[in-house]
Amino acid sequence: MTNEARVKPQLRFEEFEDSWSKLNLNEVSERVKRKNENLESLMPLTISGQYGLVDQITYFSKSVSAKNLKNYTLIKNGEFAYNKSYSNGYPLGAIKRLDKYEKGVLSTLYICFKVNGNNNSNFIKYFFETTKWHKEVGSIAVEGARNHGLLNISVNDFFNIMINLPSFEEQQKIGDFFSKLDRQIELEEQKLEKLEEQKKGYMQQIFSQKLRFKDEDGNAFEEWENTNFDYFMSEPDNLEKGIDLRKDQLLTVKLQGNGVSKANINRALKMGSTVYYKRFAGQFIYGKQNFFNGAFGIVPKSLNNFYSSGDVPALYIDYSKIDREYFINYISREDYYKKKEAFSTGTGSKRIHEKTLLGFDIMLPSIDEQEKIGDFFNKLNNFIEKQSDKVELLKKRKQGFLQKMFV
């Protein structure tokens, strides 16, 4: 233990008052160097900043490891690994604990270690979810030492970084607190997943007409009709060009039918080479290159009079002929929009042009049944949105606690 200045966190449990101590990582842990010589594990792992240590096949849908895994490091449940590769949001790489599996193997490019018995593994896990260690690692990973996305950090330098720790009892209390919070987040995420799966099931049942609505008197609605988008959709007669635009006046369409939002303000305006057009609330807008990836939505009132390029066109909808919620939910099914790639044109980047889009097929019930279906999905979407907001709030709360409860 060093004799450097002792510190305290901004927020802590009231029964603890002692200052925290600075220690080298090598005083808290020991390096794991065991080889997978006997092929004890055939599961190559990778580090995801979001999901932790995960199976490569699960994460990449394929293995990107060497064929011979004997020289890989064998890591066991509860042990840690440091991935020195930097990425967006993880400028100094990521340090994660193996929690999902009993064991796995990692390339020797990873630095692996386990926490000693004098310290709490949960506390160390959550410490490395903060940015409190970035300054120490950043001081030994100089900018000029980066090579192909990999930080040049020696094993000795890594284990000599300083971290702040409280007593074992306080470590345990903090570790347990965040474990319970993570469990709460996990349970709420499971509820969200269940709602989303229920929605997919209802979409399948309703749009295949296996599940039908009835009118106010309990009678069946008339049969659905097969028609095309041009029945209720049309191209604008005039397009108003944008002049002296700002970046914050642009909109974009998200993938997988997740709607329309403001464009990233860091996105460069290409005035001169690109023409931007004014869009209006209620218009249907889509990405020519990405319709078959679910890039479409309805322009909301909050983005009225915003702009997009000709590659993100907008068309008018006659809402007397189609219910807004019915329409969006109908085309937001993957088995609908993914099939539309077959209608794209172009030898390079494939595109779906307006004339092609207007010829897309859609099954339409009566407007009264459309409204019932639209109202049903609107209520279900509100449940999903509230649950999603609850998950995000818990995650933000966790980040706030991480910032205040560690030094």
Q: What DSSP assignment string belongs to 125-143?
A: HHHTTSSTTHHHHHHHS-G
Give strand ranges (E) for 77-136: 80-83, 94-97, 103-106, 111-115
Query: Domain with 211 in it: what CATH number?
Result: 1.10.287.1120
pLDDT at 1: 40
Is 72 within a domain? yes
Do 162 and 201 lie in one domain? The reply is no
Which residues in 270-325 belong to E strands, given as ranges?
Answer: 276-279, 284-286, 296-298, 306-309, 314-317
Q: What is the pLDDT, as a whole number, of residue 382?
A: 95
Three-state DSSP state, 335 = helix
Residues 128 and 54 in one domain: yes
Mark whether 129 and 192 lie in a shared domain: no
Of 170-184, 206-220, 271-285, 388-402, least confident by mean pLDDT is 271-285
Is residue 261 in some structural domain?
yes
Q: Yes or no: say if 302 and 373 are a contact pair by the CB < 8 Å rule.
A: no
- Within a domain: residue 96? yes
> What residue spans of 307-366 are helical by DSSP H?
324-331, 334-337, 354-358
**Which residue range(s) make up the domain with 372?**
168-221+366-407
Question: 137 in a domain, yes or no?
Answer: yes
Residue 7 lies in a domain: no
| Mean confidence (pLDDT) of the chain | 92
The whole-model pTM stands at: 0.83
| Residue 237 sits in the same domain as residue 276 | yes
Which carries the bigger pLDDT value, residue 66 or residue 142?
66
Point out the domain boundary residue: 142, 166, 190.
166
C-alpha distances (whole Å) from 105 to each of 39, 80, 273 are 9, 12, 50
Alpha helices per DSSP H over 19-131: 25-28, 56-60, 121-127
pLDDT in tens, 73-110: 999 999 999 999 888 888 999 999 999 999 999 999 99
Per DSSP, 150 falls in state B
Q: Taking 60 as the threshold, does the pLDDT of residue 262 lie above it?
A: yes
Task: Answer yes or no: is pLDDT of 371 > 80.
Answer: yes
CB 100 within 8 A of CB 54: yes
Same domain membership, residue 159 and residue 181:
no
213 and 271 both lie in a single domain: no
The whole-number pLDDT of residue 383 equals: 96
pLDDT band at 242 (very low <50, low <70, confident <90, very high): confident
Alpha carbons 346 and 352: distance in angstroms, whole number: 9
Q: Does residue 16 form part of some domain?
A: no
For 30-44, 336-350, 363-377, which range has the lowest pLDDT when averaged over its residues? Answer: 336-350
Q: What is the pLDDT of residue 173?
A: 98
User: Is 201 in the same domain as 259?
Assistant: no
Q: Is residue 278 part of a domain?
A: yes
Confidence band (pLDDT; 50, 70, 90) for 269? low
Among 138-152, 232-246, 270-284, whose mean pLDDT is lowest? 138-152
- Which token pair is 210? 């296996």
Pair 106, 156 in one domain = yes
Asked whether residue 274 carries a pLDDT value surpassing 70, the answer given is: yes
What is the rounded distance in angstroms from the CA atom of residue 370 to the CA atom of residue 327? Answer: 8
Residues 149 and 260 reside in one and the same domain? no
User: Of 330, 349, 364, which closes a domain?
Assistant: 364
Give the CATH number, domain containing residue 55. Answer: 3.90.220.20
Which of 145, 166, 187 is a domain's end point?
Answer: 166
Q: Where are the beta strands (DSSP E) in 306-376?
A: 306-309, 314-317, 361-364
Q: What is the pLDDT of residues 164-216, one digit of tens each?
A: 999 999 999 999 999 999 999 999 999 999 999 999 999 999 999 999 999 99
- What's the total number of domains in the chain? 3
Percent of the chain that is helix, strand, coil (3-state, to 5): 35, 20, 40
d(CA 76, CA 63): 19
């890989």: which residue's tokens?
72
In the chain, what percentage of residues exceed pLDDT 90? 79
pLDDT at 271 over 70: no
Please indicate, yes or no, if residue 8 is contained in any of the structural domains: no
For the stretch 320-360, pLDDT in tens is: 999 999 999 999 999 999 999 999 988 778 899 999 999 99
**What distance in Å separates the CA atoms of residue 112 and residue 155, rounded to the nearest whole number?**
10
Are 310 and 252 in the same domain? yes
Q: What is the pLDDT of residues 40-66, one digit of tens each?
A: 999 999 998 788 999 998 888 888 888
* 242 and 341, same domain (yes or no): yes
Token pair 């930097």 is found at: 86
Specify the amino acid at residue 407. V
Backbone angles phi, psi at 351, to 5 degrees: -135, 150
Cα torsion for 379, 381, 384, 385, to the nearest 10°?
A: -100
Pair 217, 253 in one domain = no
